[in-house]
Amino acid sequence: MIKPYAAGQLLPRYVDDAERRAALLSEAETLPSVLVSSAAAANAVMLGGGYFTPLSGFMNRADALAVAESMHTDAGLFWPAPVLNLLPDAGALQGAERIALRDPNVDGNPVIAVQHVASVDTLSETDMDTICDRVYRTRDAAHPGVAAFRSVGSTAVAGDIEVLNFSYFEQDFPATFRTAVEIRAAIEERGWQRTVAFQTRNPMHRAHEELCKMAMEAVQADGVVIHMLLGKLKAGDIPADVRDAAIRKMVELYFPPNSAMITGYGFDMLYAGPREAVLHAIFRQNMGATHFIIGRDHAGVGDYYGAFDAQTIFDEEVPKGVLDIEIFRADHTAYSKKLGRVVMMRDAPDHAKDDFVLLSGTRVREMLSQGVAPPPEFSRPEVARILMQHYQGAAG
């Protein structure tokens, strides 16, 4: 089976031993505590689940800037995006060696992790600009990732963490949320030797469905892990529970039995385009996938990134051999009226735009909110019904 990234085994930071976990919860009541940002809580969940292997905690200023500028930590580990615990100020941390991190996304703000305080740094405005310029490729406050990054403070608290729970994800998505440890075990149990991973923050339409099947056929995979993001998104994106229901219905009706595993992970979307695509690849290698689908504008938003920047970064900026996972490069995929099936547009050079069934996201949302199902060439009718119920409910 494919090895975890930069490690012989997964290194989850979740405290699995119940006795040790209880002791840490008791200790946490005596420690200075801070209410962390949603992004930091999600980072804790990802550290806890092994997705961030081989990282053991939050980065300091030097590592964050080195990662932003060169995609390597000071010690030389290749990593595409800073993993930070940013706070508005250091007020509660004076002299503390250990702190309790409280979850902003759960009622009562329970302790999600205990952190060793290795250093407390202040990121200057220049530092913040550098991270925005290199990771997000923009300082534009309209970019949702930049806006989220700049909203939480500039005090970086670095150090290893011990994770005590997985926030709201286990309770809200018990059938879907899985750690990298759990997915790797499930792949092994199924005996899959070649596994494709598909990232989604949206419901899956016909094009996505067929793309998964194309990738499986092309690399002769045993199965696909549909891996949906369950964390915070930008305003207007479809809630995770609706996406989950729609994807489950699609897999139930249109995938061969035992060919698709539906899972999700607790991370807040960065919308960092190419850099986030590389981070997503590391997540998928750590969970045991051998191949990862990256399509047009992967992890992008607006017009901040070129259509295929998230693919070319693997040629231009990812050192050869550093990742074991292979990238399946996808073009825009759509239903061909000429051929009567979904194809990648690059594979149909004799087609004009009108030969495809193409609908903008805005037009699809309008149709769904009006109770009008998109054509079956675009969306499976059973999936469309679930989405129509959501949009009509939201409109009401």
Are residue 344 and residue 378 in the same domain, yes or no?
yes
Are residue 338 and residue 206 in the same domain, yes or no?
yes
Which CATH number does the domain housing residue 180 bear? Answer: 3.40.50.620
- Written in H, E and C, the secondary structure of 275-339 is HHHHHHHHHHHHHCCCEEEECCCCCCCCCCCCCCHHHHHHHHCCCCCCCCCEEEECCCEEEECCC
Asked if residue 357 belongs to a domain, the reply is: yes
Are 153 and 89 a contacting pair, CB within 8 Å? yes
Are residue 90 and residue 186 in the same domain, yes or no?
no
Are residue 328 and residue 276 in the same domain, yes or no?
yes
Give the model confidence (pLDDT) of 226-280 as tens digits: 999 999 877 777 888 999 999 999 999 999 999 999 999 999 999 999 999 999 9
Q: Which domain holds residue 212?
A: 175-265+271-395
Please state, rounded to an integer, the average pLDDT across all residues of the chain.
95
Question: 102, 184, 201, 329: which is the annotated catalytic residue?
Answer: 201
Question: 21, 98, 194, 202: which is the annotated catalytic residue?
Answer: 202
**DSSP H/E element including 57:** strand 57-58
Are residue 219 and residue 324 in the same domain, yes or no?
yes
Give the model confidence (pLDDT) of 214-235 as tens digits: 999 999 999 999 999 999 877 7
Q: What is the mean pLDDT of residues 147-161?
A: 98
Asked if residue 300 belongs to a domain, the reply is: yes
Sequential DSSP letters for 65-116: HHHHHHSB-TT--B-SS----EES-SGGGTT-SEEEEEPTTSTT--EEEEEE
Are residue 143 and residue 188 in the same domain, yes or no?
no
**C-alpha torsion sign, points 178, 172, 201, 58:** negative
CA distance 186 to 183: 5
Give the model confidence (pLDDT) of 132-143 as tens digits: 999 999 999 999
Asked if residue 288 belongs to a domain, the reply is: yes
Asked if residue 204 belongs to a domain, the reply is: yes
The total number of structural domains in the chain stands at 2
Q: Which of 117, 141, 167 is the last residue of a domain?
A: 167
Which CATH number does the domain housing residue 90 bear? Answer: 3.10.400.10
Is 248 assigned a catalytic role? no
pLDDT band of residue 395 (cuts 50, 70, 90) is: low
Residue 394 has pLDDT above 70, yes or no: no
Q: Which of 58, 65, 128, 62 is nearest to 99 (CA)?
A: 58
Give the model confidence (pLDDT) of 10-26 as tens digits: 999 999 999 999 999 99
Asked if residue 31 belongs to a domain, the reply is: yes
Is 346 assigned a catalytic role? no
Asked if residue 4 belongs to a domain, the reply is: no
Are residue 199 and residue 163 in the same domain, yes or no?
no
Asked if residue 184 belongs to a domain, the reply is: yes
Q: Which of 167, 185, 209 is the last residue of a domain?
A: 167
CA distance 162 to 272: 27
